[in-house]
Chain A
């Protein structure tokens, strides 16, 4: 079991309030991702749940029991740190065994769980090495192994992949998702990478300055962002925002259109502009269009085969059914 409820939780460091009153429920077995820009309080929130920081007010419940004053070790949660926080003088085996040793689990059971975790994480060959003799990805796996063997009620991850290179990140992302499928344990995952958020989450919590901007499934956030911040944060490349006369046509202060919902061409179209930069990814090409009279730059996502160059005049056709409308306060106007 691992249902975590935050009830009017606040956190201040001295006079600065980092988390204003915040309510959130994380269901048992759910993969929840906290995303938000740097410094928005993601790590702080996670550390509050872990018990590494004390809440300033409010209540944290784990499986409907009040855990606000329970010390970290007694909350039954396991955390994977960004720096891995492995114990450098212990072998991989001893690292993984450490939480079990502290819990007084007998030797045979310890070894059984270590072998199982090592097998699941491809660490069997490295058990006798020291963390300093492992690659970043292997260290990450040891940190995860150390968390798994405790059989916690929930896993907490604080940007666990941010120290890895791109290819490894994709691989580890899959491994963590598979782990979640297999264990079906609650996981809370902090990242500022919205691709990780979109691909891994059952539920995304978008934070800004300690506030929850929106909570929902990845597709909910993608299709119906509640405000300009979420609209701009979720989706890559970023959504285009247009103000002024063009927005007025839609009875909105601002309209948003995603780059993938604009067709680029040379024939007739409602909008036109000049290609400035084109980014070729192979499968896709991103065009940055200037001189449209709508916004400084309009980003368009096109098929990889489409080949416009710098300076080409092009026309743009937005899909009118997926235009997002926002009012002057930046809130979504329901369709």
Chain B
């Protein structure tokens, strides 16, 4: 259908959107780059001129930098592992015919509709509070000492909260993928003598490869920049300061825009390294 004429017409009509998107992306990026080479302290003298790579060196030399990169990667990795494994399990479960399937499916999706801030607050106050939280009551019921989740197991708690939020997304995508599996393939495998476990390993899991890739890539994009969950729970303390949170602290708490911008550039670099790494591992699943 794509004749010469229709192609150029298509280009013309796409142009406004492309220009808008490009501007949307380029303006903040250029401004970040611009500020990252300046000493800019809005409340302490404003623009104090160009400083070259000073901000970059200071940001990376700070004792908080490498731990924040590590925290970011641990959260992303932990959430990915939990959502993919549980997502596959839940998708398999929801694919089984059962009573009340429609309601159960909606319930499973529900967490995705809750705002990150709200869900983190609910987890923090209703579940993880060491005095009044449900977990505390549960622990006391069994005679154990309640755990002060967010300070003693801060990383695990954040991973738990974020996983809870993203599990519906993973489940939903994996469920549609499972439903698109040709049932005759499973029947053929059954006749070929494959046990349920073998059918899962040899037929279902390879079929899910592409969907898992999509889940991993999309979630990574969003997880690299999680913020609200940390802001309303630990405020970056107890080892949960991610790169995003560190930048936030540099810009808003220390009021050092230049330093924060340099951190932003590092965040872009980190995101690209992670993306390149992921594409290497799972990207081949996307070519069909």
CB contact list, A137-155 vs B, under 8 A: 146, 150
CB contact list, A57-87 vs B, under 8 A: 71-73, 77-79, 81-83, 85-87
Bound CA–CA A312/B190 (angstroms): 60
Tell whether, in the assembled complex, residue A102 and residue B193 are in contact, meaning their CB atoms are under 8 Å apart: yes
Task: From B12-20, B26-34, B180-188, B217-225, give the one contacting chain A.
Answer: B180-188
Known: A83-B182, A85-B185. A72 touches B190 (CB 8 A): yes
Bound CA–CA A85/B192 (angstroms): 12
Bound CA–CA A84/B4 (angstroms): 40
Which of B184, B191, B209 is in CB contact (< 8 Å) with A89?
B209
Is A55 part of the contact surface with B, judged by Cβ < 8 Å?
Answer: no
Bound CA–CA A50/B184 (angstroms): 13
Is A98 part of the contact surface with B, judged by Cβ < 8 Å?
Answer: yes
Tell whether, in the assembled complex, residue B188 and residue A79 are in contact, meaning their CB atoms are under 8 Å apart: yes
Query: Which A residues are CB-close (under 8 A) to B203?
Result: 87
Tell whether, in the assembled complex, residue A50 and residue B192 are in contact, meaning their CB atoms are under 8 Å apart: no
Specify which of A50, A88, A150 lies most central, judged by the most chain B CB atoms within 10 Å of its CB.
A88
Query: Which A residues are CB-close (under 8 A) to B191?
Result: 50-52, 72-73, 77-79
Is A334 part of the contact surface with B, judged by Cβ < 8 Å?
Answer: no
Known: A87-B202, A87-B203. A98 touches B184 (CB 8 A): no
Is A103 part of the contact surface with B, judged by Cβ < 8 Å?
Answer: yes
Known: A87-B203, A102-B198. A81 touches B188 (CB 8 A): yes
Query: Which A residues are CB-close (under 8 A) to B202?
Result: 87, 90, 98
Tell whether, in the assembled complex, residue B193 and residue A103 are in contact, meaning their CB atoms are under 8 Å apart: yes
Tell whether, in the assembled complex, residue B184 and residue A146 are in contact, meaning their CB atoms are under 8 Å apart: no
Bound CA–CA A85/B209 (angstroms): 18
Distance (whole angstroms) from the CB of A124 to the closest CB of chain B: 22
**Number of residue pairs across A and B with beta carbons under 8 Å?**
57
At the interface, is chain A mostly helix, strand, loop or mixed?
A: loop
Distance (whole angstroms) from the CB of A60 to the closest CB of chain B: 15
Is B194 part of the contact surface with A, judged by Cβ < 8 Å?
Answer: yes
Residue of B nearest to A73 (CB): B193
Bound CA–CA A99/B199 (angstroms): 12
Query: Which A residues are CB-close (under 8 A) to B73?
Result: none
Residue of A nearest to B184 (CB): A85
Tell whether, in the assembled complex, residue B187 and residue A98 are in contact, meaning their CB atoms are under 8 Å apart: no
Query: Which B residues are CB-close (under 8 A) to A78?
Result: 191
Distance (whole angstroms) from the CB of A102 to the closest CB of chain B: 4
Query: Which B residues are CB-close (under 8 A) to A89?
Result: 206-207, 209
Known: A52-B187, A81-B188, A89-B207. A99 touches B193 (CB 8 A): yes
Query: Which A residues are CB-close (under 8 A) to B182?
Result: 83, 85
Tell whether, in the assembled complex, residue A83 and residue B184 are in contact, meaning their CB atoms are under 8 Å apart: yes
Bound CA–CA A77/B192 (angstroms): 9
Query: Which A residues are CB-close (under 8 A) to B270?
Result: none
Is B265 part of the contact surface with A, judged by Cβ < 8 Å?
Answer: no
Known: A99-B193, A103-B193. A85 touches B207 (CB 8 A): no
Query: Which A residues are CB-close (under 8 A) to B232?
Result: none
Residue of A nearest to B183 (CB): A85
Residue of A nearest to B187 (CB): A52
Query: Which A residues are CB-close (under 8 A) to B207?
Result: 88-89
Tell whether, in the assembled complex, residue A85 and residue B188 are in contact, meaning their CB atoms are under 8 Å apart: yes
CB contact list, B192-232 vs A, under 8 A: 192-195, 198, 202-203, 206-207, 209
Query: Which A residues are CB-close (under 8 A) to B274?
Result: none
Bound CA–CA A72/B196 (angstroms): 13
Query: Which B residues are CB-close (under 8 A) to A146?
Result: 188, 192
Mask: chain A, 80-115; 1 = CB below 8 Å from B; 0 = not: 011101111110000000110011000000000000
Distance (whole angstroms) from the CB of B282 to the closest CB of chain A: 14
Distance (whole angstroms) from the CB of B147 to the closest CB of chain A: 44
Is B189 part of the contact surface with A, judged by Cβ < 8 Å?
Answer: yes
Query: Which A residues are CB-close (under 8 A) to B206?
Result: 87, 89
Tell whether, in the assembled complex, residue A85 and residue B190 are in contact, meaning their CB atoms are under 8 Å apart: no
Known: A98-B202, A102-B198. A81 touches B184 (CB 8 A): yes
Specify which of B184, B191, B193, B198 lies most central, judged by the most chain A CB atoms within 10 Å of its CB.
B191
Residue of A nearest to B194 (CB): A102
Distance (whole angstroms) from the CB of A148 to the closest CB of chain B: 12
Query: Which A residues are CB-close (under 8 A) to B209?
Result: 89
Query: Which B residues are CB-close (under 8 A) to A103?
Result: 193
Bound CA–CA A73/B182 (angstroms): 19
Bound CA–CA A135/B187 (angstroms): 22
Distance (whole angstroms) from the CB of B76 to the closest CB of chain A: 27
Distance (whole angstroms) from the CB of B146 to the closest CB of chain A: 48
Bound CA–CA A81/B188 (angstroms): 8
Known: A98-B202, A102-B198. A87 touches B190 (CB 8 A): no
Residue of A nearest to B192 (CB): A99
Query: Which B residues are CB-close (under 8 A) to A86?
Result: 185
Distance (whole angstroms) from the CB of A127 to the closest CB of chain B: 18
Residue of A nearest to B195 (CB): A102
Tell whether, in the assembled complex, residue B190 and residue A98 are in contact, meaning their CB atoms are under 8 Å apart: no
Additional A-B contact list (14), CB under 8 Å, known A82-B184, A87-B189, A99-B193: A52-B187, A71-B190, A72-B187, A73-B192, A73-B194, A79-B188, A79-B191, A81-B188, A87-B203, A88-B207, A90-B202, A98-B194, A102-B198, A150-B192
Which of A's residues lie within 8 Å of B, judged by CB? 50-52, 71-73, 77-79, 81-83, 85-90, 98-99, 102-103, 146, 150
Q: Which 5 A-B pairs have the closest CB atoms?
A: A99-B192, A73-B193, A85-B188, A102-B193, A85-B184
Question: Can you report 15 residue pairs joining A to B where beta carbons are below 8 Å apart?
Answer: A51-B191, A82-B184, A83-B182, A85-B188, A87-B185, A87-B188, A87-B189, A87-B206, A89-B206, A98-B194, A98-B202, A102-B194, A102-B195, A102-B198, A150-B192
